[in-house]
Structure 1
Amino acid sequence: MAEMSVLVAYASKHGSTELIADAIGDALRRAGHDVDVRPVSDVRDLTRYGAAVVGSALYIGRWQGDALTFLRRHEASLAGMPVWFFSSGPLDDSAETAQLPAPKAVAEIAARIGARGHATFGGHLAPDARGFVEHFMIRGGRTGDWRNFERIEMWADAVAAELAREGVLGAAGREPTAGAVR
């Protein structure tokens, strides 16, 4: 396969999913891949990418609208490359104790494009978060941080290893750095 970048695209309302996307991008870079980490709203064209990881924060069990719009707009392009999805947001330890399914709309798109997998990671809600839903969650005592960056990096390392097996390399064709999974 030609040397192409990996896109890590995300939709994040308060920044938690962005930090997860950054961690995934860092793990892929350590494995030697050329990576762009960008909000889904900033991605217009996928022609320079050989693979994609797309994620969104979960709100009431659903992906953010701009993430779903991104998937629908780029469905044909995504179908032609290795793709993984991730969700972030359970404000409890459920993402650690069970393999949570993708939201229905995401699962349907994943089936159509042949996505390689989906992971759900715990979320984060700060006590000063603003928003209608957030207001009720904060009043209900649902603030905290359930993200597990070790688990996120292990998942990203597995994605990187699968990309390497398939010959998807970054533009520099770099060798993995120390500590990366091959």
Structure 2
Amino acid sequence: MTGTVLVTYGTTNGSTAAIAEAIADVLRKDGLTVESLPARSVTSVRPYDAVVVGGALYAGRWHKDARRFLRRHRTELAERPLWLFSSGPLDASASQRDIPPVRGVQRVMTRLHVREHVTFGGCLQEGAKGRVAGMILRSGKGGDFRDFGVIRTWAQGVAEALTHE
């Protein structure tokens, strides 16, 4: 593939954005042209030949910006190679086992013929926005559970799929 890849994401505190940037960096190193943008700022997917969408998980739901992005662009996304990732478990579970997509993401996967979905560990640290985030942090359950080695390996698989099409 010689086109442009969009890596887009829905995030509140920046953890999912950092994952998206790591994915974009791997794709670029493999020679792909990549744009990485917040989902709410993408007005069209027509300029892109493939798309990776990430959403932070909150109470078992994908971030609203990621959900809205998929709804807004569903027709065009169905015509392109599409990968999804979630970020969110605030424990080591994402590194220990495959975590299936939440129900809403599973429905989208079927409708849009998503190539693959993966769940990465999340990150919630002091200074995070939101009442619920504050409660989680006060309970001592925050932390950074992202494994950038695993993230880069997954992104390498996406790059290989795209460069061999």
* Same fold by TM-score greater than 0.5: yes
SS of 1:147 mapped into structure 2: coil
Question: Which residue does the alignment assign to 1:161?
Answer: 160
Tell me the equivalent position of 1:43.
Answer: 42
What does residue 144 of structure 2 align with?
145
Aligned to 2:118: 119
| 1:7 aligned residue | 6
| Partners of 2:46 and 2:66 in 1: CA distance | 19
| Residue identity matched to 2:103 | K
Contact 2:12 2:129 in 1 (8 A): no
Residue identity in the other structure for 2:5: V
Paired residue for 1:69? 68
1:63-98 Cα deviation digits (max 9, x unpaired): 011210110111111110110000011000010111
Structure with bigger gyration radius: 1
Q: Which secondary structure does the structure 2 equivalent of 1:106 belong to?
A: helix
Higher relative contact order by CA 8 Å / sep ≥ 6: 1 or 2?
Answer: 1
Rounded Cα–Cα distance in structure 2 between residues aligned with 1:112 and 1:22: 26
Query: Matches of 1:129 and 1:58 in 2, distance apart?
Result: 14
Q: What is the deviation of 1:129?
A: 1.6
Which letter does structure 1 place at the counterpart of 2:133?
Answer: E
Deviates more, 1:125-134 or 1:11-20: 125-134
What is the CA deviation profile of residues 42-67 of structure 1, one whole-angstrom value per residue up to 9, with x for unaligned ones?
Answer: 10111111100000111011101121
Question: 1:106, CA displacement in angstroms?
Answer: 1.1
> What is the identity percentage for the equivalent residue pairs of Structure 1 and Structure 2?
46
Residue in 2 that maps onto 1:23: 22
**TM (normalized to structure 1)?**
0.88
Q: Please, what is the CA RMSD of the aligned residues?
A: 0.9
Question: Partners in 1 of 2:99 and 2:63 — Cα distance?
Answer: 17
Structure 1: unaligned runs, 5 residues or longer: 167-182
CA distance in 1, matches of 2:72, 2:109: 14
Unpaired segments of 5 or more residues in structure 2?
none
Moved over 4 A (4+): none
**SS at 2:49's partner residue?**
strand
Shift of 1:154: 0.2
Amino acid at match of 2:70: L
